[in-house]
Amino acid sequence: MRLLTDLHEVDGALTRRAASRIPPGVAKVLSVVEESAESTKLWCGVAAVMAWKGGWRGRRAAAAGVGALVVAQLVSNGLGKQLADRPRPPAEWIPHDEVADRPDSSSFPSGHTAAAVAFTAAVAPTWPAAGVLCAVPAAMVAVERVQSGAHYPSDVAAGAAVGLAGAWLTRRVPALFLRSRLQPSGFLRHWG
């Protein structure tokens, strides 16, 4: 129980520090990037450009990215927020007006971060350069969610974990499914 209390205290201190110490100009840039990522617009736009201009590798990376994003959104927003029901950080901790724009849903986990990390982590193995480019706005979204007072750092960390799991599942499950379908059954191996 003491560990949870300590985690909550650290979460609160980091949230207050991020909300008050990030310079206003940087906060404005973070906010613009986060707004473009709202409702996964940024990631779907990037996927469309990759599919259009990236040839087979771009189409494959885009499909993996969008698939992982969908999995992460279902887990974070469809399941995680329903189970956790964690309140957002207190408005009095946030010394700027961005706190007025935050959603009413549960704070845990960060769906924005889950989507950003899932897309980036699924794209990177197929197209590493695109993955590196996607990592920049993904990191900016994660920082903005704490800076704006929408999430605690642990919400963002959990969202990142959900995103990584979504990317892993999206890349591994089809291969496992195909491998199980292509292997001959025990009967055929024995008698074939």
pLDDT tens figures, 54-86: 999 999 999 999 999 999 999 999 999 999 889
- DSSP secondary structure code for residue 38 in this structure: G
Between helix 153-182 and helix 2-21 the angle, nearest 10°, is: 110
Helix (H, G, I), strand (E, B) or coil at 3: helix
pLDDT digits (tens, 9 = 90+) for 26-50: 888 988 999 899 889 999 999 999 9
Which pTM value belongs to this model? 0.86
